[in-house]
Homo-oligomer: A and B are copies of this chain.
Amino acid sequence: MAEARPDLGPRKAAVLRAVVETYVRTSEPVGSEAVAEHAGLGVSSATIRNEMAALEELGYLSHPHTSAGRIPTDIGYRHYVDALPVGGKLKEGQRREIAAHFAEAIVDLEEVLKGSVQLLSRLTQYAGLAVPPGASEEQIVRLELIDMGPSLMVLVVGQHGRVDKQIVDRPDQFDPKSVAGAERRMQAIRGQSYTDAQATLLRLAAEAPASEHDLLLVAADVLRIAVHGERNAHVVVGGVANLADETQAWRRATLRRLFETLEREQDLLHVLQDVSSDDVQVTIGAEHPTTGDWEASIVTAPFKAGDATVGTIGVVGPTRMDYLSAMASVRAVAARLTQAAAEADAER
């Protein structure tokens, strides 16, 4: 990601910035005249033209056709984003909306995330996304085997309100007595983290009588899935209607692909899990293989809930995105999320 691109020098950078910002605002290719005015560099449009030609040569800008203005390439956006000052400012209204949203104490993380994703989509006019924290460090509050007639439900409740369930076919050998036995045996893991508990269950299974052995393995498997998020790890998505807005100039086919991926949670998860950093992170266009044909960018930030369990929240929008404002919104929401979770923990 940190490609060794040559430093542009202040003026080229300013021109690039002006092109990006004007293009984002108008969604029309940007001409030298407009840049000369907007960038306030005190040079004429002719000079700008030279700079723009150079920027195109370097791959930061492109040209729909000879006599049109310039539009940024993905690389151009990348440079722009990297050069962006850290502190994007929120509008007063946005700030208030965020504050209002986090006024209530955090209770159910899942619900809060749904709300936060909606909030982000309202703030940015793009679609909001969130990946709930993995369960690995969360403590288990309860683990139960529930007899459901022909099947058996394994139910796990985590410290932060997480509930994982899985229903498995119950082979005949799982008689009520074994189930009760296994359930009693597995209570040893209460208070352990999901990861630790999984190991404990495997150990218990080894020691347990044959009739209970498989049951313990099944329970261990539910924990494994909870940790890895293979099945349940849904991505919370909200505000996708924004993507269908007329002002986003996506072609119909692109829009369709975008929606398809937003539904395929697994793919989405890969993208979101690949972007991990301590701060806001931006993935532009084809920078990630999965997002190659999206013509879209993702802005994400991690948040902490509990001790070290980390989730991700962010937005998806067109590459022609208002990165500054999107990053500010995402950063602010992630920060408030972390803070709210910390307060909820302190109270505990």
Residues of A bordering B, CB below 8 Å? 105, 107-108, 141-142, 144, 146-151, 153, 155, 157, 159, 161, 163, 165-169, 238-241, 244-246, 252-253, 255-257, 259-260, 262-263, 344, 347-348
Contact = CB atoms under 8 A, between A and B. Distances in A.
**3 residue pairs, one from A and one from B, having the closest CB atoms:** A149-B348, A241-B259, A241-B260
Contacts of A151: 107, 161
21 contacts: A105-B169, A107-B168, A107-B169, A108-B165, A108-B166, A142-B144, A142-B146, A148-B159, A148-B161, A150-B347, A155-B157, A155-B163, A163-B163, A240-B259, A240-B263, A241-B257, A241-B259, A241-B260, A244-B255, A246-B252, A246-B256
Contacts of A260: 241
B150 A344 contact: yes
Contacts of A240: 240, 259, 263
Contacts of A142: 144, 146
A151 B344 CA distance: 10
B244 A244 contact: yes
B246 A253 contact: yes
Interface of A is mostly: mixed
Contacts of A348: 149-150
A137 to B, nearest CB: 16
Contacts of A161: 148, 151, 153, 165, 167
B157 A146 contact: yes
A106 B336 CA distance: 42
